[in-house]
A and B are shown apart, each in its own frame.
Chain A
Amino acid sequence: MVPEKTRAAQDETSEEQRSGKPPDHEKQYVGFATLPNQVHRKSVKKGFDFTLMVAGESGLGKSTLVNSLFLTDLYKDRKLLNAEERINQTVEIIKHTVDIEEKGVKLKLTIVDTPGFGDAVNNTECWKPITDYIDQQFEQYFRDESGLNRKNIQDNRVHCCLYFISPFGHGLRPVDVEFMKALHEKVNIVPLIAKADCLIPSEIRKLKERIREEIDKFGIKVYQFPECDSDEDEEFKQQDRELKESAPFAVIGSNTVVEAKGQRVRGRLYPWGIVEVENQAHCDFVKLRNMLIRTHMHDLKDVTCDVHYENYRAQCIQQMTSKLTQDNRIESPIPILPLPTPDTETEKLIKMKDEEVSTICACASWMLELESRESLQGCPIEVVLRLPLLCPPVGSWGGGQG
């Protein structure tokens, strides 16, 4: 898009930005204001993907809610186990993938289901298969990212975990607390109060308060909605506030359409009235849907990549480098850190390098102190550090395999 004249893009309206047409007033316009459009077009072409995990005891309406959220039926062929079959059931991980499209935008949605969670008589460590699964996706991504051909990396990392809390309790149960603590540093947890239509408004209020208190008390780090930008309008900010105050969301799901007040709505028909899923006075379904899909889907992905995945990666690398100084034979999934089976010659070299590093670190902190002292006196000092590679340059690189 070559503008006829170069103008600055200061007072452009969004309309003009989108069309890329140069504004009519006397300004310098280079044309990079069209970048968002270009990104938009490329993204739409590429399509989006999102992986959502659902967890909680069976019978809390997870499947119904997922179907309601995405207006699809993912569980057509599901077979429900009876109690006896469930006595010795272990937690399974089941993935359903569906491609949905809306207004030309494609979404590859993956739902990770966790049947069996919390159902047994003895649920000790029943979250382990789930944490293992999440870690495996991180590990797979880690390997792919470090690999040679990175063109088509499949991102199977879990972007969000909806955790269903039973409305029949008085707050969090021990299994809820343990589950969330095992997962809060690996995935974005969004706790929900399930089947909220069995609670009256005052009960919902109390339960939400109680759950929030317990989440604080146990130090559980659930997904935090980011602060909205200060330049957003007041209405948006108000909505954002309401969103934050409603957590944890009390939800109801339904795939059946019923007639209420002459309208056809998605809801549940009781002898005493009709619960409308999309009525904000009845439940927080709309808030959840808006948050998950319309406003925060991208942020959920960002936090997964920037925080949870990076934590995993850092831990991984740390573990490997600490193992490097201990073990003799190490298996590394990362080809860029070749770890050959060191012989005594190499071991000596490693030790030497280690000492160098610690000396340099000591030097660096001394110099930084010096700098702060000197800068206090008004003399800037530049401190430049050069650290040697931790990998000894040996001939064979066959030790580490991905």
Chain B
Amino acid sequence: PKKGQSGLGKSTLVNTLFKSQVSRKSSGWNREEKIPKTVEIKAIGHVIEEGGVKMKLTVIDTPGFGDQINNENCWEPIEKYINEQYEKFLKEEVNIARKKRIPDTRVHCCLYFISPTGHSLRPLDLEFMKHLSKVVNIIPVIAKADTMTLEEKTEFKQRVRKELEVNGIEFYPQKEFDEDLEDKTENDKIRQESMPFAVVGSDKEYQVNGKRVLGRKTPWGIIEVENLNHCEFALLRDFVIRTHLQDLKEVTHNIHYETYRAKRLNDNGGLPPMTVETEENHESNL
């Protein structure tokens, strides 16, 4: 899912990542759409295919997050949603007659969009990430990075990394889950230099040097989304899709889900949660 205040380009970025219209842009230009009063959770599923490989992609949007005047606890609906998916999976897992392939609606990755203020993280960002990094893989992303010069970007990223460290926020890839030295070296570099990725998204193409590229056309030049000199979109895409997609799922399953499961079993005195065929259960198992 993607989190961050409205207008940070979340939908555009997700569309760019998966090169398809998987996210309906909450068009700011639609008069009827208002900022929702509470945080909503909107999940849309798509099946995309590449090279014969099919993937069912679910994008979960959180409109309303951080948009109100009083944003206290606005992460709670999100935390609740994530835990509900774990709960669903758990119930299925402990079922006597359980399905071969348990439908997995768990959230594998959360892209958190940081506003490019150039100063530091906002209190809301800290609060959100503190709470949620314990239940889901968070990948912080600096949105609309075309608003910062190279210097400003470097300084901002340094400051953000430091703030996350000082506040004990472990974003993905978490240090403690590095499996071997190879992982550690690779991930260290990403953690300490590349992240958070400063990205720009676009669904429009322009002609640059004879090639068609995705970009944004300004009066002073064209920002090329996939040009590493312009922004780190390509790094983010490679990271999330081409190298760490499977790992994201594994960490979710082996770590976050197990943590949830252990807590639930403990709360229940070491026993699996009751799966009495109640009205609710019956419906959710259908």
A positions within 8 Å CB-CB of B? 57-60, 80-84, 86-87, 119-124, 126, 166-171, 173-175, 178, 195, 197-198, 200-201, 206-207, 210, 213, 268-276, 281-282
Please indicate the chain A residues that have their CB under 8 angstroms from the CB of B146 in the complex: 197-198, 270
CA A273 – CA B149 in complex, angstroms?
Answer: 10
Q: Assuming the A-B contacts A269-B149, A272-B224, are A200 and B217 also in contact, with contact meaning beta carbons closer than 8 angstroms in the complex?
A: yes
CA A2 – CA B87 in complex, angstroms?
Answer: 97
24 pairs, A vs B, C-beta closer than 8 Å: A80-B119, A83-B122, A83-B126, A84-B166, A86-B122, A119-B122, A120-B123, A121-B123, A122-B70, A123-B70, A168-B5, A168-B7, A169-B5, A173-B67, A178-B69, A197-B146, A197-B218, A270-B149, A272-B223, A272-B224, A273-B218, A273-B220, A274-B221, A281-B219
A59 & B117 in contact (Cβ 8 Å cutoff) = yes
B119 & A84 in contact (Cβ 8 Å cutoff) = no
Which of A81, A82, A169, A275 meets B220, CB within 8 Å?
A275
B interface bracket (residues with beta carbon within 8 Å of A): 35 or more
Q: Assuming the A-B contacts A83-B126, A121-B124, are A168 and B167 also in contact, with contact meaning beta carbons closer than 8 angstroms in the complex?
A: no
**Chain B proximity of A362: nearest CB distance (Å):** 47
B117 & A121 in contact (Cβ 8 Å cutoff) = no
The 10 A-B pairs of least Cβ separation, nearest first, read A59-B117, A170-B28, A273-B221, A198-B147, A273-B220, A272-B221, A169-B7, A83-B121, A87-B123, A122-B70
CA A398 – CA B223 in complex, angstroms?
Answer: 72
Which of A86, A87, A169, A282 meets B28, CB within 8 Å?
A169
**Chain B proximity of A148: nearest CB distance (Å):** 45
**Chain B proximity of A98: nearest CB distance (Å):** 23
Please indicate the chain A residues that have their CB under 8 angstroms from the CB of B166 in the complex: 84
Please indicate the chain A residues that have their CB under 8 angstroms from the CB of B7 in the complex: 166, 168-170
B115 in the interface (beta carbon within 8 A): yes
B221 & A124 in contact (Cβ 8 Å cutoff) = no
Closest to A209 in B: B29
B119 & A282 in contact (Cβ 8 Å cutoff) = no
B221 & A206 in contact (Cβ 8 Å cutoff) = no
Please indicate the chain B residues that have their CB under 8 angstroms from the CB of A171 in the complex: 28
Please indicate the chain B residues that have their CB under 8 angstroms from the CB of A58 in the complex: 117, 119
Closest to A206 in B: B29
B150 & A84 in contact (Cβ 8 Å cutoff) = no
Which of B123, B144, B222 meets A83, CB within 8 Å?
B123
A210 & B119 in contact (Cβ 8 Å cutoff) = no
Which of A168, A170, A174 meets B143, CB within 8 Å?
A168
CA A170 – CA B7 in complex, angstroms?
Answer: 5
Residue with the greatest number of chain B CB neighbours at <10 A, chosen from A169, A268, A281: A169
CA A83 – CA B117 in complex, angstroms?
Answer: 12
CA A60 – CA B26 in complex, angstroms?
Answer: 23
Closest to A268 in B: B149
A83 & B70 in contact (Cβ 8 Å cutoff) = no
Interchain Cβ contacts within 8 Å, total number = 133
Q: Assuming the A-B contacts A84-B163, A195-B147, are A168 and B115 also in contact, with contact meaning beta carbons closer than 8 angstroms in the complex?
A: yes
Which of B29, B68, B69, B147 meets A197, CB within 8 Å?
B147
CA A168 – CA B159 in complex, angstroms?
Answer: 21
Residue with the greatest number of chain B CB neighbours at <10 A, chosen from A119, A124, A271, A276: A271
B115 & A198 in contact (Cβ 8 Å cutoff) = no
**Chain B proximity of A267: nearest CB distance (Å):** 9
B35 in the interface (beta carbon within 8 A): yes
Residue with the greatest number of chain B CB neighbours at <10 A, chosen from A59, A166, A210: A59
CA A281 – CA B166 in complex, angstroms?
Answer: 43
Please indicate the chain A residues that have their CB under 8 angstroms from the CB of B26 in the complex: 170
CA A282 – CA B220 in complex, angstroms?
Answer: 7
Which of B28, B35, B72 meets A174, CB within 8 Å?
B35
CA A275 – CA B218 in complex, angstroms?
Answer: 9
B38 in the interface (beta carbon within 8 A): no
**Chain A proximity of B36: nearest CB distance (Å):** 11
B255 in the interface (beta carbon within 8 A): no
B218 & A200 in contact (Cβ 8 Å cutoff) = yes
Closest to B128 in A: A121
A169 & B125 in contact (Cβ 8 Å cutoff) = no
A271 & B150 in contact (Cβ 8 Å cutoff) = yes
Q: Assuming the A-B contacts A124-B69, A173-B67, are A271 and B8 also in contact, with contact meaning beta carbons closer than 8 angstroms in the complex?
A: no
Residue interface bits B16-32, CB-to-A below 8 A is 1, else 0: 00000000001111010
**Chain B proximity of A313: nearest CB distance (Å):** 31
Please indicate the chain B residues that have their CB under 8 angstroms from the CB of A80 in the complex: 119-120
**Chain B proximity of A282: nearest CB distance (Å):** 6
**Chain A proximity of B35: nearest CB distance (Å):** 7
A276 & B220 in contact (Cβ 8 Å cutoff) = yes
Q: Assuming the A-B contacts A121-B124, A123-B69, A168-B115, are A82 and B147 also in contact, with contact meaning beta carbons closer than 8 angstroms in the complex?
A: no
CA A174 – CA B71 in complex, angstroms?
Answer: 11
CA A124 – CA B5 in complex, angstroms?
Answer: 17
Please indicate the chain B residues that have their CB under 8 angstroms from the CB of A276 in the complex: 220
Interface positions of B from 109 to 138, Cβ below 8 Å from A: 115-127
Residue interface bits B214-258, CB-to-A below 8 A is 1, else 0: 001111111110010110000000000000000000000000000
